Amino acid sequence: MEGANQMAVTEYVLLGLHEHHNLEVVLFALCLGVYSMNVLGNSLLIGLNVLDPCLRSPMYFFLSNLSLIDICGTSSFVSLMLVNFLETQMTISFPGCALQMYLTLALGSTECLLLVVMAYDHYVAICRPLRYPELMSRQTCARMAALSWGTGFVNSLLHSTLTWSLPSCGHNVINHFFCEILAVLKLACGDVSFNVLLTMVATAVLTLAPLLLICLSYVFVLAAILRVPSAARRRKAFSTCSAHLTVVVVFYGTLSFMYFKPKAKDPNLDKIIALFYGAVTPSLNPIIYSLRNAEVKAAAKALLRGDLLSRKMAHFSNALRQDRLGSMDEQQTPPVCPTSSLATCLHPNSTHKRPPGPGTLNYSQLPGKKAVQNQQVLHRRHKDSTCINSGYQPWQPQPQPQPRLSCNPLPAQHSPDAAAGREA
């Protein structure tokens, strides 16, 4: 029966501000500008983190994740909402509505958890600076970011599954700009008490608990900053934390005002507040971090001058050149003769398997470091060979750089037969 009710609804009608079409045109212009600023600003933060090696700390890693959440979260509903602003009737398909509700809820939950992780990063950096490399290693940061994303998406999957399993009884008019979970629950004609209870528990765990942890971490951070004797260091610590603290206040301020304020007499006011929370707040994060962070401003200026891209291209070309030289060195590795036939390989015409003389080796083309290593290997092998038992002194490596071993026979002037001919 529930499946039949869901299949009966193929699309939903989004009311928005249908009674004020002129206001929707104004909102279209404003939302388009805000959305463009959001995408460009957060993309700039992600690009600076990738290009500038000075922005490779855990704080900027988490900031890039926050920027990605803001881009994906606003794109999940603002793009379709802009199109609907110009239409006489705002509609969305059933799969589109389900996906929109899932993404908005998942990314909102993930952002709450990510703000806690960023507060913990500031706490460790200021209160535990000596253990910072250990506690905030690259693997640890990746695990905390993955846990935040995974928890948010699992929470959204649970709520979406329970919401869409409720019977809708053919109701398909959503009194909102997009498919928000509370607006969708109003379409259900069954008992929604369990869904409401689960929503309250999830809000307490994923919204209020992170807020309390953030406040607790900043109590310790503030106490540690006030104990710093240098005024310059105190200002630097305050400037580092002020950007994140401003983002937390804006995010939780609008969220609390939207969900915990008394119900307004005009439902259009709730819609505009939700629109401000979903579209305007994410676009403020790049502005806050760029104005309150000297490193981000310096990286942005370097990008505008072209220095950042030129350094990145130079580093990339040097890496390619080193890889090419490394592959050439591997191809030019000299052959190593077996220990049992080393003297025969170096002196095939010798009747006494004596160690090779200095004139029998051609070291003009080996790289210096590999030449020394090859000489040491040859010297160790000569100590164990039968050439030492024949009364000859072990061959000593030459100090000059010497590369490739030549397994060719000795020249005629160095062979034993030629020496015998000269004596005769």
The Cα 97–Cα 80 span in angstroms is 11
pLDDT of residue 189: 83
- pLDDT digit of tens for each residue in the chain (424 aa)? 444 444 567 888 888 777 777 787 888 888 899 999 999 999 998 988 888 887 888 988 999 999 999 999 999 888 888 888 877 778 888 889 999 999 999 999 999 999 999 999 999 998 998 999 999 999 999 999 999 999 999 999 999 999 988 887 777 888 888 888 888 888 888 788 888 888 888 888 888 899 999 999 999 999 988 888 888 888 877 877 888 888 888 888 877 777 666 665 666 777 777 788 888 888 888 888 776 677 787 887 887 777 766 776 766 667 666 766 665 555 554 444 444 333 333 344 444 444 444 444 444 444 444 444 555 545 455 444 444 444 444 444 555 554 444 444 444 444 444 444 444 3
The Cα 4–Cα 169 span in angstroms is 9
The Cα 66–Cα 44 span in angstroms is 13
Cβ neighbours of residue 366 closer than 8 Å, sequence gap 6 or more: 332, 334, 374, 401, 402, 403, 404
The Cα 287–Cα 84 span in angstroms is 28
Q: Which two tokens stand for residue 108?
A: 């909102």
SS3 for the chain is CHHHHHHHCCEEEECCCCCCHHHHHHHHHHHHHHHHHHHHHHHHHHHHHHHCHHHCCHHHHHHHHHHHHHHHHHHCCHHHHHHHHCCCCEEEEHHHHHHHHHHHHHHHHHHHHHHHHHHHHHHHHHHCHHHHHHHCCHHHHHHHHHHHHHHHHHHHHHHHHHHHCCCCCCCCEECCCCCCHHHHHCCCCCCCHHHHHHHHHHHHHHHHHHHHHHHHHHHHHHHHHHCCCCHHHHHHHHHHHHHHHHHHHHHHHHHHHHHCCCCCCCHHHHHHHHHHHHHHHHHHHHHHHHHCCHHHHHHHHHHHHCHHHHHHHHHHHHHHHHHHHHHHHHHCCCCCCCCCCHHHHHCCCCCCCCCCCHHHCCCCCCCHHHHHHHHHHHHHHHHHCCCHHHCCCCCCCCCCCCCCCCCCCCCHHHCHHHHHHHHC
Query: What stretch(es) of the chain map to CATH 1.20.1070.10?
Result: 2-292
Question: What is the chain's length?
Answer: 424
Cβ neighbours of residue 269 closer than 8 Å, sequence gap 6 or more: none
Q: What would be the CATH architecture of the domain defined by 2-292?
A: Up-down Bundle (1.20)
Q: Which two tokens stand for residue 71?
A: 């881009």
pLDDT of residue 62: 93
Burial of 7 (0-12, 13-18, 19+ CB in 10 A): exposed
pLDDT of residue 393: 45
Supply φ then ψ for residue 91, to 5 degrees: -130, 160
Burial of 347 (0-12, 13-18, 19+ CB in 10 A): buried
